[in-house]
Structures are given as C-alpha cells and as structure tokens.
Homo-oligomer: A and B are copies of this chain.
Amino acid sequence: MKLATLKKGRDGELILVSRDLSRAVSAADIAPTLQQAIENWGAVSPTLEVRYAELNEGKAEGAFDLDQSALHSPLPRTYHWADGSAYLNHVQLVRQARNAEMPETFWHDPLMYQGGGDKFLAPTEDIEAISEEHGIDFEGEIAVVTDDVPMAVSAEQAAQHIKLIMLVNDVSLRGLIPGELAKGFGFFQAKPASAFSPIAVTPDELGDAWQDGKVHLPLTVHLNGEKFGAPEAGPDMIFNFPQLVAHAARTRYLGAGAVVGSGTVSNPDPDGGPGKPVADGGVGYSCLAEVRMVEKILHGDSKTPFMRFGDRVRIEMFDRDGKSIFGAIDQQVVKYQAK
C-alpha cells in the first residue's frame, strides 16, 4: 500500500496513492489523517487495502491525478522522531572530519538521537537557514513508522511493529555540531526540521527489496541536478530497522506514529576504504560531509562546499525497473527571513 498526506491544516488529509504514483484517492473517510490510521492500523488497514486495490485497478470512486507538490510529509508532525546512525561508514567519515576516532563499541551499540517532530518540512518545501556559515548539509536516509511498541521488546518482536517505510532528508547544520556535541547533550540546533518523501509505503510494496529489516535498493541523490550518489541502502546497514526500533524502546514505550531513521546511507569500498565520489567513479554519498572528507583523503582538500542559498537537493529511490517508489524529496535552501 502507498499512502500520502495532502497539505491541509496541521496534520493534512490521508490519501492513497497508486503503485505507479500517477493517481490518488482520499482515504479521509476511513481515517482522517495518517496519524489516526497508524493509531488504529489493525482496524483500518484492511479497508485501506480494498480501496488501494480499486485505485490500482482504475476503479476507485473520486480518484484524481496525483500532484506531488500538493503533498506534505506523510506525517506532517509526529510525537516521536528518533534517528539512528546505522551506516558506520558515514559515522567513521564524519568523525574523521572532526578528528574523532570511532570507538569499537559502535559496531555493537547503535547510535541514536532524539529529533524534533513538531514541524516537519513538506517534501518540496524550502529549507530555511539563518546563515551559510552554519554548514548546511542534507542527509539521505530511510525511516520506518511504527504502531504502538511495548517497552523492552526484542528486535524480533519490534519487526512486527514496522508498518510503513519512507525516505528522509535529515537536514544538518555541520557548523553547529562540534559545539553541541562538546556540551554532551547531543544534537539540538544542529538538527533543524527534517523532510520526508511524499509517499510512505507498507513493507510488502518493496517485495524482495525488503529483507532482513533493511531496504535493498540504492538511494539516489542529486545536487543541483547533478548525480551526487546512489549508495546501496542494504548491505552496509550495520543495525537493521527492527534492531533500531528495539534500541529506541529499551527503556520506554513508543507511541503509534513513532518514526525511526536509519542514519545517512553510505557504502565503504569492498576493501573497507571510505568509497569514492561519483566524479571519481564511485557510487557517491548521501551527504556533503562525507564527500568533503573523502575529497580531502583523495585529493588533499575538500572542494565541494556545503549548501548555499539557492542550492537544491533531490532524494529518491527507484525500484529495479527504474520506477520511483516514494516520490521525491526536492528542496531548495533559502535564507531565513523573519515573518
């Protein structure tokens, strides 16, 4: 099933989107919002499935052509946004950039931070930033949405609570990170509002690409229209989604609609090296911090700047037939203007 949220008020209106993303139909009579659907998933999902089948068969009453720009993030806000960092190649590179070693324990104990879920950006909404000096970066990631998760679940149990999958742009302000991490309380100002892909999909939509709690497809990122990376999201994810959800729930219950992110998708070389930029024949990356570090390693200097006002990032994922699964996150950075 593919679900999305039409922009409307704070929580939008739930719609179903056809598998090929061309058509849509309201589902507001079944559940007014995605938050309400996920709170009652067992009860509402069979009815949603029926309408989704009708939509794909061209038989859904009231169906309309989908305009992705009318969509908000599937959950325009959530009570719980926790982002892991499960691709350790990313962790290794961003730490190297600030001269910090990666402890060995990181291979066994997931990194995760609590993010702000009160005002997500829409998938095509501008990223407002105060200053280019903040080191504006994107982070291409995958995230899952859960229903109610009991405290202290095992990863095996956690897997049953993963209901939806989507993409994320976890906007990061690199210039603010070292100062915040030095304070010891984790990210705060360095992680402004994230944006999610216009479409959220149930795991079965991914077919064989959803295996072992991971998405086995490349995540495609373009910067100002140029291909920036297409790293594989499956093989190098050291902790899968059920493990990340179990980590988040170790000492507390998670409320329905909790979003748990994978961290920035990143592939090392087969020999353990940090991979290569697209310009050097590699698969590239899904954030600027990594390519800057690798440029430094390969060429002695980071030549790619962080994002400037007017720069645009596009994040999407295609199936093996080249069809977009989640629609595209496509955002421009603009200078914040007091309103």
Interface size on A, residues (CB 8 A): 57
> Which residues of B are found within 8 Å of A107, using beta-carbon distances?
none
> Which residues of B are found within 8 Å of A134, using beta-carbon distances?
251
Contact of A255 with B338 in the complex, beta carbons under 8 Å: no
As for how many copies of this chain the complex holds, the number is 2
Listed in ascending order, the chain A residues whose CB lies under 8 Å from chain B are 10, 39, 77-80, 82, 85, 100, 103, 105-106, 109, 111-119, 128-130, 134, 150-152, 173, 176, 179, 181-190, 192-193, 247-248, 250-255, 257-258, 336, 338-339
- Which chain B residue has the least Cβ–Cβ distance from A83? B185
The 9 A-B pairs at the shortest CB distance, nearest first, are namely A186-B186, A118-B255, A79-B118, A80-B118, A113-B185, A192-B252, A114-B114, A192-B251, A189-B251
How many angstroms between the C-alpha atoms of A79 and B118 in the bound complex?
Answer: 5
Contact of B150 with A339 in the complex, beta carbons under 8 Å: yes
Contact of A78 with B79 in the complex, beta carbons under 8 Å: yes
Contact of B188 with A113 in the complex, beta carbons under 8 Å: yes
A83 to chain B, nearest CB (A): 9
How many angstroms between the C-alpha atoms of A80 and B78 in the bound complex?
Answer: 9
Given contacts A80-B118, A189-B251, could you give 14 more A-B pairs where the C-beta distance is less than 8 Å?
A: A79-B118, A80-B117, A82-B116, A85-B185, A109-B179, A113-B186, A114-B186, A130-B152, A130-B250, A151-B336, A176-B251, A186-B187, A188-B247, A189-B250
A114-B186, A186-B187, A188-B113 as given contacts; A152 in contact with B254, CB under 8 Å: no
- Which chain B residue has the least Cβ–Cβ distance from A153? B338
> Which residues of B are found within 8 Å of A258, using beta-carbon distances?
118
